[in-house]
Amino acid sequence: MISLKQIRYALAVERTLHFKKAAESCAVSQSALSTALSEMEKQLGFQLFERNNKQVLITPLGKQALEKAQEIKLLMDDLARLGESQGELLHTTMSIGIIPTICPYLLPVVLPTLQNEYPALQLHISEEQSHELVEKVRNGDLDAGILALPYDCEGLLTFKFWAENFFWITHAGDALADKPQLSNDELDTQRLMLLKEGHCLKDHALSVCHLSTISEHHLSATSLNTLVQLVANGLGTTLIPEMAVPQLVEENPKIAKVPLAEPGPHREIAFIVRPNYPSIKNIELLMQLFQHELQVLRSDSK
Amino acid sequence: MISLKQIRYALAVERTLHFKKAAESCAVSQSALSTALSEMEKQLGFQLFERNNKQVLITPLGKQALEKAQEIKLLMDDLARLGESQGELLHTTMSIGIIPTICPYLLPVVLPTLQNEYPALQLHISEEQSHELVEKVRNGDLDAGILALPYDCEGLLTFKFWAENFFWITHAGDALADKPQLSNDELDTQRLMLLKEGHCLKDHALSVCHLSTISEHHLSATSLNTLVQLVANGLGTTLIPEMAVPQLVEENPKIAKVPLAEPGPHREIAFIVRPNYPSIKNIELLMQLFQHELQVLRSDSK
DNA sequence: AACTGTTGATTAAATAAATTTATAAAAATA
DNA sequence: TATTTTTATAAATTTATTTAATCAACAGTT
Q: Dump pLDDT digits (tens) for A170-204.
A: 988 887 778 788 888 777 777 788 887 778 887 88
Residue nearest to nucleotide C28 (CA to C1'): A54
A-interface mutation test, from B44, B75, B274, most A Cβ less than 10 A away: B75
Closest CA to B62 of B45, B73, B47, B51: B47
Helix (H, G, I), strand (E, B) or coil at B230: helix
CA A11 to C1' C14 (Å) is: 35
- The overall average pLDDT reported for chain B is 87
Contact flag B75-A71 (C-beta cutoff 8 Å): yes
A20 Cβ contacts chain D strand, under 7 Å:
yes
- Contacts of residue A143, Cβ cutoff 8 Å, sequence gap at least 6: A94, A95, A96, A137, A273, A277, A283
Let me know: does B85 contact B278? Beta carbons within 8 Å.
yes
Let me know: does A111 contact A104? Beta carbons within 8 Å.
no
Let me know: does A271 contact A144? Beta carbons within 8 Å.
yes
Most confidently modeled of A199-203, A217-221, B39-43, B57-61? B39-43
Closest CA to A166 of A89, A237, A232: A237
A-interface mutation test, from B5, B6, B61, B68, most A Cβ less than 10 A away: B68
Output the pTM of the full model: 0.76
Q: Please, which pLDDT band fits residue A215 given cuts at 50, 70 and 90?
A: low
pLDDT of A163 > 90? The answer is: yes
Instruction: Read off the amino acid at residue A132.
Output: E
Q: Residues 138-177 of chain A: which lie with beta carbon within 7 Å of strand C?
A: none
Closest CA to B147 of B199, B98, B94: B98
Contact flag A72-B72 (C-beta cutoff 8 Å): yes
Partners of residue A267 on adjacent β-strands: A164
Closest chain B C-alpha to A45 CA, distance in angstroms? 5
Longest dimension (CA), chain A: 75
Closest CA to B183 of B202, B162, B208, B215: B208
Looking from the CA of B102 toward its CB, the CA atoms found within 13 Å total 30
Write out the H or E segment, with its range, that includes residue A273.
strand A267-273
Quote the pLDDT of residue B214: 62
Phi-psi region at B179: left, alpha or beta (left = phi > 0; alpha = psi -120 to 50): beta
Residue nearest to nucleotide C11 (CA to C1'): B31
B-interface mutation test, from A67, A75, A274, most B Cβ less than 10 A away: A75
Kindly give the pairing relationship between strand A255-259 and strand A166-171. Answer: antiparallel
**Which bases of strand D have any atom within 7 Å of the beta carbon of a protein residue?**
5-10, 17-21, 24-27
Q: Please, which pLDDT band fits residue B83 given cuts at 50, 70 and 90?
A: confident
Q: Please, which pLDDT band fits residue B215 given cuts at 50, 70 and 90?
A: low
pLDDT of A264 > 80? The answer is: no
Q: Please, which pLDDT band fits residue B207 given cuts at 50, 70 and 90?
A: confident
Contact flag B68-A79 (C-beta cutoff 8 Å): yes
Quote the pLDDT of residue B219: 63
Contacts with A82 from chain B: Cβ below 8 Å: 44, 46, 61, 64-65, 68
Q: Does A28 touch chain B (CB under 8 A)?
A: no
Q: Does B66 touch chain A (CB under 8 A)?
A: no
B179 Cβ contacts chain D strand, under 7 Å:
no
Helix (H, G, I), strand (E, B) or coil at B272: strand
The single-letter DSSP state of residue A182 is B
% of chain A beyond a pLDDT of 70:
96
Summarize the confidence of residues B92-117 as an average pLDDT: 91
